[in-house]
Structure 1
Amino acid sequence: MPSNAELRDIALTVARRAADLAYLRRSEGVEIAASKSSLTDIVTRADREVEQLVREAIAASRPRDGFLGEESGGGEGTSGLTWVVDPIDGTVNYFYGIPAYAVSIAVVEGDPDPATWRTIAGAVVNPASGEAFTASAGGGARLNGRELHVNRDVPLELALVGTGFGYDARKRERQAAFVAQLIGQVRDVRRIGAASLDLCSVAAGRLDAYFERGLNPWDHAAGALLAREAGALVGGLGAGPEGEDLLVAAPPGLYEQLHPLADAFYSEWR
């Protein structure tokens, strides 16, 4: 079994290759291949091509591991490890040329289910900025090799908080209702458009906290590890783990203020 650091390095190597391809395809012009949950939930040909590159690269170096990708789905392995991949997180940003999109690759132990897995390594690479975020369980979080730490001792009223919205219009309205409730209690709210980068921003101190409902496993697998390794608490509804129903990430003191607000609101959303 390789060490967590070795798995992290594999994730970073593959993510850099994938990021180079995503950046190249962006410079050539983006072509929409399909839509998924709604007309605004788009898939580009680059999404599919980048994921294929990642899948083949991981299969070459770790042939016994499983795979779970946003575009190509899952494949079972025999090693107990699964690679969870978002080839281009922030596809709408990518389509519009907004430089906030990323390749996200994580390695998890156990079934590829956020309710039960344990993330042990990950990398998030922003092709537009050249920033590479990495983490391994117990090994800390880094940005281009520099150790990261969350912002400490930030009260709710001074917190810069990130969030995101779903593709379905009615769900966005519900999500916006909580933002309207929260915005008078914090410094301000940011909506960047890529969950992996939002979580990395918490790790890097660019955001004090982040919350969102409706995330898929590949959206947060690597980013949540980065936030944790930088000192954040990350959780979901009640005392449960992060998942589709809710994700909140913040330093301990701020988490204790923000999580109950989000939990109370989203617990009623069934």
Structure 2
Amino acid sequence: MTDPLHTDLLDLAQEAARRAGVLLRDGRPADLAVAATKSSPIDVVTEMDIAAEKLITGLIAEHRPDDGILGEEGAATEGTSGVRWVIDPLDGTVNYLYGLPTWAVSIAAEQDGETVVGVVAAPMRGETFHAVRGHGAWDGERRLACRPAAPLEQALVSTGFNYVADVRAHQADVAQRLIPLLRDIRRGGSAAVDLCDVAAGRLDGYYERGLHPWDLAAGDLIAREAGALTGGRPGERPSGALAVAGTPGVFEPLQRLLEDFGAWHD
């Protein structure tokens, strides 16, 4: 039986993600990538991002006013209930800008510092992933399971790159060294969706440096509840230094290579 509190948190997270996803999907101008009503297309994306976070935090405050909140667009309240929401209202902003479908609303709920609920809604893909700690990971009514163990040389692995040129150059070097050792590498553009794709068996692994808590929180729980392993540098939890997820057969050798190749520093 799911803890009634966790059920309530899941219901609220799903409704908030659904509403924010509709706002972002239906509010995106058709010509966003080439023209905008503001000074640049980026301004419009930022406005949509902020509007989505305001919608989410407003709904949470209405139902659970004593909870804490940490949001990408600046929402930060301590709360007194022991529950904190970690929110990325639009993960994959460049994809959103260009009209690519891989962007998502990511909402996680922590209880006493541990993530207990995660929801990642990808409206343009028609998918909403969710997990409650200890109760598996799901895409709607379909239970998710990561891929069967495969050797690293047969692994399809996704990653992401920083927007700072010097950092990207080092990350490209790491990827270049990895590619001959894997089946192939992908760059999806949304950390939350990549983690869910590991959970859904579409990727064998994923890694990235430079993520924030709101990028990771929901997707990390969903991946783990689908049977994947997650971490950072060896013996550490996922963090801004490095986040790694993978099937049980891929996770440790991938993590070791990333350590050897210095993926954890710029």
Q: Indicate the TM-score class for this superposition, using the shorter chain for normalisation.
A: over 0.9
Match for residue 75 of structure 1?
A: 77
Query: Is 1:248–2:244 an aligned residue pair?
Result: yes
Q: Which moved more, 1:228-237 or 1:255-264?
A: 255-264
CA deviations 1:24-63 (Å, max 9, x no partner) are 111455459899xxxx999521000000000000111111
Q: Which amino acid aligns with 1:219?
A: D
Aligned residues of 2:233 and 2:264 also touching (Cα < 8 A): no
What SS class does the counterpart of residue 12 from structure 2 fall into?
helix
1:214 to 210, 217, 233: 210
Could you tell me how far apart the structure 2 residues matched to 1:121 and 1:48 are? 23
Match for residue 19 of structure 1?
A: 21
1:183 to 179, 200, 207: 179
Aligned length: 260
What SS class does the counterpart of residue 24 from structure 1 fall into?
helix
Measure how far apart 1:217 and its partner are.
0.6
Aligned residues of 1:140 and 1:147 also touching (Cα < 8 A): yes
* Cα gap change, 1:183 to 1:144, in 2 (>3 Å): same
Aligned residues of 1:68 and 1:85 also touching (Cα < 8 A): yes
1:197 to 170, 193, 198: 193
What SS class does the counterpart of residue 189 from structure 1 fall into?
strand
* Cα gap change, 1:93 to 1:33, in 2 (>3 Å): farther
1:135-214 superposed matches below 5 A: 135-214=131-210
Aligned residues of 1:101 and 1:126 also touching (Cα < 8 A): yes
Could you tell me how far apart the structure 1 residues matched to 2:158 and 2:171 are? 13
CA deviations 1:117-173 (Å, max 9, x no partner) are 311001100121221000010011000220000002111000000000011111111
* Cα gap change, 1:231 to 1:53, in 2 (>3 Å): same
Q: Which moved more, 1:246-255 or 1:220-229?
A: 246-255
Could you tell me how far apart the structure 1 residues matched to 2:166 and 2:30 are? 35
* Cα gap change, 1:62 to 1:33, in 2 (>3 Å): farther
Measure how far apart 1:252 and its partner are.
1.6
Could you tell me how far apart the structure 2 residues matched to 1:88 and 1:229 are? 23
Aligned residues of 1:195 and 1:220 also touching (Cα < 8 A): yes
Match for residue 102 of structure 1?
A: 104
Q: Which amino acid aligns with 2:214?
A: W
Q: Which amino acid aligns with 1:190?
A: R
Measure how far apart 1:6 and its partner are.
2.6
What TM-score comes out, normalization by structure 2 length?
Answer: 0.92
Aligned residues of 2:174 and 2:263 also touching (Cα < 8 A): no
Measure how far apart 1:3 and its partner are.
2.8
CA deviations 1:102-126 (Å, max 9, x no partner) are 000000123xxxxxx3110011001
Could you tell me how far apart the structure 2 residues matched to 1:34 and 1:138 are? 47
Q: Unpaired runs of 5+ in structure 2?
A: none
Could you tell me how far apart the structure 2 residues matched to 1:252 and 1:74 are? 35
Q: Which amino acid aligns with 1:12?
A: Q
Measure how far apart 1:72 and its partner are.
2.1
Aligned residues of 2:258 and 2:264 also touching (Cα < 8 A): no
Measure how far apart 1:253 and its partner are.
1.9
Q: Which amino acid aligns with 2:166?
A: R
What's the C-alpha RMSD, in Å, of the aligned pairs?
A: 2.1
What SS class does the counterpart of residue 44 from structure 1 fall into?
helix
Q: Which amino acid aligns with 1:75?
A: T
Query: Is 1:124–2:124 an aligned residue pair?
Result: no
Match for residue 266 of structure 1?
A: 262
Could you tell me how far apart the structure 2 residues matched to 1:267 and 1:142 are? 30
Q: Which moved more, 1:260-269 or 1:184-193?
A: 260-269
* Cα gap change, 1:33 to 1:66, in 2 (>3 Å): farther
Q: Which amino acid aligns with 1:62?
A: R
Measure how far apart 1:224 and its partner are.
0.3
